[in-house]
């Protein structure tokens, strides 16, 4: 059998990547044995193309034949898994390509790997509030919410739902700039006061906050990218990944630990302490 050990690993990457049917076929063979008819149906290519593809896989020892069926070897499973991971990474990168500048930097300890399997909601030209709608849906599914950052647009557009969730029993702790709290408090005094009166809302004030937002829900961690020029939320990423949760908890605790006192709560809603 012809050997394909010569050349570089890039040659094999190119061999797979330049043909989507090859990627589909190898992934299918890695899941379970497939016949030629099965592979024809799922790839939509010709009989001759399937034949050449299977021969190339066999020459690389990625598959073996068992009667009328073919199945992936351990090498083939390994390659299929690696290709799937690469495709997933590229899909994530393509989604974030136009909004990455509003995400946390690596200086904060954040890494794109933390959100590789996350739900990514990007504002679109014909639907600029998609991230806010996603944020609202997460609020509806949590009993406790913590937030640190500067995202006036996030709370501005769902103020009624946010306050109602607090009044209905959701415990909320927020670390925000004084300007954000002053704006919301002066613009919607009755709703804000009602939320404070519930005893479920605690607000800390400080100026030196990150230009993005981090929300911690019961089961999800969310990161919001905010464009200060347009005043809009550009992206919301939410995930249940443990590493993202650990990073968010650490970030929140760092900002909270440096605060001297509670800024606002039911008994002292008329005053605020800024570090």
Residue 153 has a pLDDT of: 65
What letters, b where the CB count within 10 A reaches 16 and e where it falls short, cover 249-262? eebbeebeeeeeee
Kindly state whether residues 216 and 239 are assigned to the same domain.
yes
Q: Name residues whose C-beta falls within 8 Å of residue 161's C-beta, 6 or more positions apart in sequence.
A: 136, 139, 140
Kindly state whether residues 108 and 224 are assigned to the same domain.
yes
What is the CATH classification number for the domain harbouring 34?
1.10.10.10
Residue 92 has a pLDDT of: 85
* Residue 171 burial class via C-beta count within 10 angstroms: exposed 0-12, middle 13-18, buried 19 and up: middle
Q: What is the mean pLDDT of residues 167-186?
A: 86
What letters, b where the CB count within 10 A reaches 16 and e where it falls short, cover 120-156? bbbbeeeeebbbbebbbebbeebeebbbbbbbbbbbb
What is the CATH classification number for the domain harbouring 128?
3.30.870.10
Q: What is the mean pLDDT of residues 152-174?
A: 85
What letters, b where the CB count within 10 A reaches 16 and e where it falls short, cover 222-235? bbbbbbeeeebbbb
Is the separation of the CB atoms in 145 and 222 below 8 Å?
A: no
| The two three-digit tokens of residue 13, written as one number | 């990457």
Kindly state whether residues 66 and 102 are assigned to the same domain.
no
Is 3 a member of any domain?
A: no
Kindly state whether residues 113 and 71 are assigned to the same domain.
no
Query: Is the pLDDT at 156 greater than 90, yes or no?
Result: no
Query: Is the pLDDT at 229 greater than 80, yes or no?
Result: yes
Query: Is the pLDDT at 57 greater than 50, yes or no?
Result: yes
Q: Which domain holds residue 229?
A: 98-268
User: CA 130 to CA 126: how far, in whole Å?
Assistant: 10
Report which secondary-structure segment, H or E, holds 147: strand 144-149
Kindly state whether residues 65 and 115 are assigned to the same domain.
no
Kindly state whether residues 154 and 79 are assigned to the same domain.
no
| The two three-digit tokens of residue 208, written as one number | 């030196």
Is 1 a member of any domain?
A: no
Kindly state whether residues 117 and 215 are assigned to the same domain.
yes
Kindly state whether residues 115 and 154 are assigned to the same domain.
yes
Q: Name residues whose C-beta falls within 8 Å of residue 24's C-beta, 6 or more positions apart in sequence.
A: 42, 43
Number of domains the chain contains: 2
Q: What is the mean pLDDT of residues 239-257?
A: 93
Kindly state whether residues 17 and 69 are assigned to the same domain.
yes
Question: Token pair 């001759």 is at which residue?
Answer: 48
| End-of-domain residue from the set 52, 67, 88 | 88
Angle at CA 188, nearest 5°, toward 182 and 193? Answer: 85
Report which secondary-structure segment, H or E, holds 238: strand 232-239
Residue 4 has a pLDDT of: 57
């Amino acid at each position: 059998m012809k050997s394909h050990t010569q050349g570089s690993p890039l040659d094999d990457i190119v061999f797979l990547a330049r043909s989507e049917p090859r990627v589909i076929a190898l992934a299918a063979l890695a899941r379970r044995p497939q016949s030629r008819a099965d592979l024809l149906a799922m790839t939509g290519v010709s009989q001759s193309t399937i034949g050449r593809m299977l021969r190339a896989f066999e020459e690389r020892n990625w598959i073996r034949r068992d009667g009328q069926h073919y199945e992936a070897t351990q090498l083939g499973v390994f390659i299929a898994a690696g290709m799937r991971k690469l495709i997933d990474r590229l899909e994530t990168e393509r989604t974030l390509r136009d909004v990455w500048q509003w995400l946390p930097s690596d200086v904060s300890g954040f890494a794109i790997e933390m959100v590789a399997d996350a739900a990514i909601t990007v504002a679109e030209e014909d639907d600029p509030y998609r991230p806010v709608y996603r944020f609202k849906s997460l609020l509806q599914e949590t009993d406790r919410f913590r937030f640190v950052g500067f995202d006036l647009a996030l709370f501005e557009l769902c103020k009624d739902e946010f306050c109602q969730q607090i009044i209905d029993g959701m415990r909320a702790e927020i670390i925000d700039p004084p300007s954000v709290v002053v704006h919301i408090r002066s613009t919607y005094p009755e709703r804000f006061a009602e939320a404070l009166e519930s005893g479920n809302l605690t607000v800390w004030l400080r100026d030196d906050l990150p230009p993005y937002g981090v929300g911690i829900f019961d089961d999800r961690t969310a990161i919001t990218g905010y464009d200060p020029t347009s005043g809009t939320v550009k992206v919301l990423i939410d995930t249940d990944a443990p590493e993202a949760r650990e990073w968010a908890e650490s970030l929140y605790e760092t900002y909270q630990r440096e605060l001297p006192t509670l800024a606002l709560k039911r008994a002292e809603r008329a005053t605020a302490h800024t570090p």
